[in-house]
Amino acid sequence: MSDLIPDLIATDPAGRHQWLLAHRPADYQPVYWWLSLIESAVADVHFDQLGLPRNRPRADVALAAAVISWALEDGYPVEFAVRELVYLRSLAPAIALPAILHPDEVARRALDAFGFSRADAVAAAARLRALPVTDDDFIQPGESASEMSRRFEELCGTDDYRDHHQLVAIERMLGDLRPIVSDITDTTLAAEVAAWLDVLPDLDLTPDAVRVADQLLDELVALLDAGRPTGDLVDRLRTPAAVYQQSRLVELLTRYTAVGHTAACDQIAHVLTACGPAALPAVPHALDTGNDDRQ
């Protein structure tokens, strides 16, 4: 995609918005096109702040802010725009700051896009965390691309998927708002943002089953390192949630192989195979890597 910013700068300011829309390529999704323009304009401001030599005209703060504003008018996701607005504000002089970059405006725009009350967001996160992790949550052996696409389309139409996506967006926006919280002048608005930040830990979407599996794996490793019996921990770990631990399991298998801890290798490998056929190649690879480390 060609960089339109230099041509946009050369266009009469009163007609820039329309000129930009007239030059939107038909073969790009609007969100990605706007993203490329925003990143280019904001990078221009950053490069100027760094004092880097120019090899073409660069967007200033006002133009970069205008591009973000036009993108939002065209349906660009607020969850993505908040980060760019906060970052652009950090590059801009406090004098003559475009209205869209004022902390109150950024925070208000973000809160309006949350789509949940705090209580409802916390309750939705708890409900989603409690959903069981099953084999159906993962690609099945031999599953065709068309079947995967069909299952994904079905998932996208569920309330659980929409709520999960929205909660992720809220987490992202809250994290992006942190640098400007102290600069919000509207006390009611500042209190609302602070209240949301207080419940941010409760919006974590890590499944409860994965948390339990993490704790069980910690217990298993402690017992293996101490040379103590592991009881039924291995069997309790052989669940679909083990998929989330695959990278850690491979690291453990490599480590125990390197020190010649055969019993630990057997137990970790047994858990790793619960991750399904996709994990099986990792077992001999980890064993080979561990043996290389011992040589």
Whether pLDDT at 59 is above 60: yes
Q: pLDDT-derived band of residue 295, with 50, 70 and 90 as boundaries? A: very low
Among 33-37, 39-43, 50-54, the minimum mean pLDDT is found in 50-54
Task: Choose from 90-94, 127-131, 279-283 the range with maximum mean pLDDT.
Answer: 127-131
The pLDDT of residue 238 is: 87
Query: Which residue, among 222, 223, 290, 216, has the nearest Cα to 253 in the 3D structure?
Result: 290
99-104 average pLDDT score: 96
With a CB cutoff of 8 Å and minimum separation 6, the contacts of 148 are: 139
pLDDT-above-70 percentage for the chain: 92
What is the Cα–Cα distance from 88 to 82, expressed in whole angstroms?
Answer: 10
The pLDDT of residue 276 is: 64
Whether pLDDT at 280 is above 50: no
Whether pLDDT at 171 is above 90: yes
Give the pair of three-digit tokens for residue 92: 């801009």
- Residue 204 phi, psi dihedral angles, 5° rounding: -60, 130
**To the nearest whole number, what is the mean pLDDT of the chain?**
88
Kind and range of the H or E element at 198?
A: helix 187-199
Among 8-22, 119-133, 145-159, the minimum mean pLDDT is found in 145-159
**3-state percent helix, strand, coil for the chain, nearest multiple of 5:** 75, 0, 25
What is the Cα–Cα distance from 102 to 238, expressed in whole angstroms?
Answer: 51
* pTM for this predicted structure: 0.81
The pLDDT of residue 285 is: 44
251-255 average pLDDT score: 91
With a CB cutoff of 8 Å and minimum separation 6, the contacts of 247 are: none
- Asked if 193 and 106 count as a contact pair (C-beta separation under 8 A), the reply is no
Query: Which residue, among 114, 211, 88, 119, has the nearest Cα to 171 in the 3D structure?
Result: 114
Whether pLDDT at 209 is above 80: yes
Count of other CB atoms within 10 angstroms of residue 155: 12
* 207, 223, 238, 268, 295 from 275: Cα distances, Å: 16, 22, 8, 12, 29
What is the Cα–Cα distance from 194 to 111, expressed in whole angstroms?
Answer: 12
200-213 average pLDDT score: 93
- Residue 74 phi, psi dihedral angles, 5° rounding: -95, 10
What is the Cα–Cα distance from 30 to 27, expressed in whole angstroms?
Answer: 9
243-250 average pLDDT score: 86
The pLDDT of residue 277 is: 56
What is the Cα–Cα distance from 291 to 52, expressed in whole angstroms?
Answer: 50
246-263 average pLDDT score: 90
58: left (phi over 0), alpha (psi -120 to 50) or beta: beta
